[in-house]
Amino acid sequence: MTEEGYKEAAQNVTAWYRSHGRDLPWRRTKDPYAIWVSEIMLQQTQVETVKPYYERFINELPTAADLAEAEEQRVFKLWEGLGYYRRASHLKEAAETVVRDYAGRFPDTYEELLKLKGVGMYTASAIASIAFGIPKGVVDGNTLRIVSRLLNREDNIALQKTKNAFGEVMDAMIRYADPSDFNQGMMDLGAMICTPAKPVCEACPIASLCQARLAGTVGRLPVNNKKINKSILEYMTVVIRESDRYFMIPNENGLLQNLYGFAQYSCDTPSEFEQLFYDQYGVRIRLTEYVSDIKHVFTHREWRMHVYGGEVAGERSFGNRTDFYTLEEIEKLPVSTAHLKVLKSYLKAVN
């Protein structure tokens, strides 16, 4: 994307946020302490749950000094029900640091914020931009998804190198807008419009710039494959549909020999899958949408299947191939349990 594109995207998101952003209690202040408390609470908890906890916490302990002096039991009591109590101890420890090392004034640079206990890159960027107007883009699931779609990039967002690269894109955009409103706009865009499933592109302020929308690849982005260990095998599994029939083939060897399953390859991106399928069957297919991740445990290994829906692309179809089956026919085939789970999840998502 060009600099002009970044500029337009940043300004559109900011303008949209000013008229459509969510009105949340912690957005009525620029106090870094209050913003920090809200961000720590939001780390593993939903917005609606956090609201009353935040209000109570800030009423009872309105400054970093109050929190630093408070009895630990009192802090835990205020946290009761929010879970992940380690967050509360880190909060208190960081408040003590602010009082001891910064004379009670919250550090006002991204680098200094990162040194506080429990403050990671996301939280430091959020506080720096919202409280101090520092142009540092926030990088989390929401913004990674938006950037991946905006640029139509299949980079795996589970990898640190993608997070770094997409973080640079966020930083490139934020320079052209008010950092606080831009970051909060991206957070809200991810929560309300550019959602993982069924994004509302018609209402999106960056729809005219969105490369995935232009290419028709929104549904299959972002790519998010978390590789865990050797006994866990990762696959992309695609339910290819032609009217009311589904492509299934028997396994020739391996764990599920002779059992039927959907097309499946150990690969990382939709484009790679389409190429592998073409190489094997000579037919162009198109992955249309991401469906879900399915886990299936065998005795000594585990499959992680990233399930997508697909269709035959362009003119050529499978013709007279008999590899397509209706749902009634599939019921009579010997299908592996793993792939029955895939089918169930697919049907649930598309119906």
Biggest alpha carbon–alpha carbon distance for the chain: 78
Tokens 């997409």 found at: 166
E strands along the chain, which residues?
232-242, 245-247, 249-250, 260-261, 263-265, 285-297, 302-312, 324-325
CA 292/CA 323 separation, integer angstroms: 24
CA 326/CA 320 separation, integer angstroms: 15
Nearest to ligand SF4 of 98, 177 (CB atom): 177
CA 195/CA 230 separation, integer angstroms: 31
CA 283/CA 139 separation, integer angstroms: 38
What lies within 8 Å, CB to CB, of 209 at 6+ separation is: 1, 5, 8, 9, 12, 150
Q: Hey, which residues are catalytic here?
A: 39
Q: Which residues pair with 236 in a beta bridge?
A: 265, 306
Nearest to ligand SF4 of 13, 75 (CB atom): 13
DSSP 106: P
Residues within the interface to ligand SF4 (CB under 6 A): 146, 149-150, 193-194, 199, 201, 204, 206-207, 210, 212-213, 218
Nearest to ligand SF4 of 222, 310 (CB atom): 222
Residue 328 CB, nearest approach to ligand SF4 (Å): 36
Strand, helix or coil for residue 222: coil
- Asked whether 182 and 9 are in contact (CB, 8 A), the reply is no
Nearest to ligand SF4 of 12, 123 (CB atom): 12
Nearest to ligand SF4 of 206, 307 (CB atom): 206
Nearest to ligand SF4 of 245, 286 (CB atom): 286
CA 192/CA 21 separation, integer angstroms: 9
Strand, helix or coil for residue 348: helix
Strand, helix or coil for residue 28: helix
Residue 206 CB, nearest approach to ligand SF4 (Å): 5
CA 81/CA 96 separation, integer angstroms: 24
Residue 194 CB, nearest approach to ligand SF4 (Å): 3
Q: What are phi and psi of 66, to 5 degrees?
A: -60, -45
Residue 120 CB, nearest approach to ligand SF4 (Å): 25
Residue 92 CB, nearest approach to ligand SF4 (Å): 39
Residue 150 CB, nearest approach to ligand SF4 (Å): 5
